[in-house]
Amino acid sequence: MKKLAVILLLLTHITVAAQVKTNSQDSLAADKIVKQLIGFYNNDEFSAIHKMLSDEFRQSTSESNTITFYRANLKSPLGKINNYHYAGAGKRGILFMVDFERSKLSLEIMLNTSNQISGILWLPFENKKLIPGPRDPKSIQTNNPRKTSLQIKIDAVAMNYLKDPNNSSLSIGIVDKDKTELFFYGETKKGTHELPTSSSLYEIASISKTFTAILLARAVNEGKIKLNDDIRKYLPGDFNQLQFKGSPIKIINLSNHTSGLPSLPDDFDKQQGFDPANPYLNYPKEGIYAFLRKFKPDTIPGSVSVYSNLGFAVLGTILENVYQMPLEQLLQKNITGPLKMLNTHYEVAAPQDKFMVTGYSDETGKAVSYWNLENFKAAGGLKSTVSDMLLYLKANINEINADYSLSHQPTDHQEDFKRGLAWMIQPLDNDTVVWHNGGTAGFRSYCGFIPGKKAGVIVLSNSSASVDEAGLELLRDIIYSAVPQK
């Protein structure tokens, strides 16, 4: 079973509408509403779900947007809902755990005084997993010398993650001002006892979006593109309907997920040769253009935040059109070449392919297929090593040129976070963290840094279990680590 298989690489949600009630006595009402919603969902009555929304919520998301979300982003990849259960009060509303045929999600639902849905969040299911047979820490190999207080803290985080035998390895890079360290844990392939190295390749998934964003920033700084340009200026053919009430989708909307485009085209799983184990492989570039020709935005671009892999696929094609150059060449010319990231590519060819680690499902512990993102590669197609990503992390921390600086500037403000060009910007204790994560069927990744402290961390895993919590904890460890022990 794949966790969130096609929905995301990684973040996805429906933006919450305002003014909700969250008192505990509303749990029974919420349960009744969720039961009704699930009935409509399982019977493909997605228009009926839209009618359950409050007037205010319907103003921010149209019926067609609701239908596309539930049909293409939930039903298609995850299947029907088998079960659900109440899980208590969430941050904004009532929380439920929902079991789909092929995954699990958390559902946080908010109701107004008329018991209409005022806000709804579908989020990755985070569970304190019960591990019936945890791995003996002594059996987990590592290069960590465990001498300094920071090394000991890093070890504790890594061991906690790898105690689950379904998780196979971690590669961790740390930046603390001018100091860098690399730590390796576990096995590149189960049963081989091969510790990861600086050459081990992982799918970094949606962290790829930050590379695309820096390429966009370069185009802006070179005067090739303006962030407020209408995207139709850079698309081949007629896209007259690609606007809402005279407001077009702009380049900036693609880069910060406010374009109004869905996460994926509604025919994503209908393309010839669709393979759930490698879902992006056979969706053609012309398919993206064909979807855009028939797509009609139903909200003003820039007004609603919906995480969109499609939006970044479009951005990637625009960059290729502007420069008349494949994305791989743009990447090598402007980022990986200057940074000497010799092992970061969309496609890994021989002899480098021997360094690809095996990816595993954290739910079954079984090996899963690699993902080839093809025409969605701008959204999540890169493979990289922790040593290469450490070079990338340092370049972002130090903002080595105007392209990196521009990508970190806030362009969208939500309730709990801001977005730059792709990058998430959020408070962390008394600091600000700039970060992105990624996930495919068998890999998870996290890249985050605190500009004011010149501190950062990269975490790569060949398991589908999230490493976000580990990444944040490691950032705190860097900031608050004690003086090295004698």
- Residue of 133, 7, 21 lying closest to 70 (CA atoms): 7
List phi, psi (to 5°) of 155.
Answer: -60, -40
- Distance CA(187)–CA(147), nearest Å, equals 22
Alpha helices per DSSP H over 136-190 = 149-162
> Residue 220 has which token pair?
């802006």
- Residue of 100, 57, 61 lying closest to 78 (CA atoms): 100
For 19-144, where are the E strands, in sequence order? Answer: 81-89, 94-100, 104-111, 117-124
Sorted by where each begins, the domain ranges of the chain are 24-124, 205-474
State residue 143's pLDDT score: 98
- Distance CA(44)–CA(208), nearest Å, equals 34
- Residue of 378, 387, 267 lying closest to 315 (CA atoms): 378
pLDDT in tens, the chain (486 residues): 233 333 333 333 344 443 344 444 567 888 899 999 999 999 999 999 999 999 888 887 788 888 888 887 788 777 889 888 888 877 778 889 998 887 788 898 989 888 899 888 888 776 566 787 899 999 999 999 999 999 999 999 999 999 999 999 999 999 999 999 999 999 999 999 999 999 999 999 999 999 999 999 999 999 999 999 999 999 999 999 999 999 999 999 999 999 999 888 988 888 888 998 999 999 999 999 999 999 998 889 998 888 899 999 999 999 999 999 999 999 999 999 999 999 999 999 888 899 999 999 998 999 999 999 999 999 999 999 999 999 999 999 999 999 999 999 999 987 778 999 999 999 988 899 999 999 999 999 999 999 999 999 999 999 999 999 999 999 999 988 743 433
State residue 15's pLDDT score: 42
List phi, psi (to 5°) of 41.
Answer: -60, -50
Q: Per the CATH hierarchy, to which homologous superfamily does domain 205-474 belong?
A: DD-peptidase/beta-lactamase superfamily (3.40.710.10)
State residue 129's pLDDT score: 65
Decide: helix, strand or coil at residue 142.
strand
State residue 85's pLDDT score: 87
Decide: helix, strand or coil at residue 344.
coil
Q: Class of the 24-124 domain?
A: alpha beta
Cβ pair 427, 133 in contact under 8 A: no
SS3 of the chain: helix, strand, coil, percent, to 5 = 35, 20, 45
State residue 14's pLDDT score: 44
State residue 57's pLDDT score: 86
- Residue of 256, 255, 259, 269 lying closest to 6 (CA atoms): 269
Q: Name residue 461's beta-bridge partners.
A: 170, 444
State residue 126's pLDDT score: 64
pTM for the whole structure: 0.83
> Residue 62 has which token pair?
């149209």
Element (H or E) spanning 419, and its range? strand 418-419
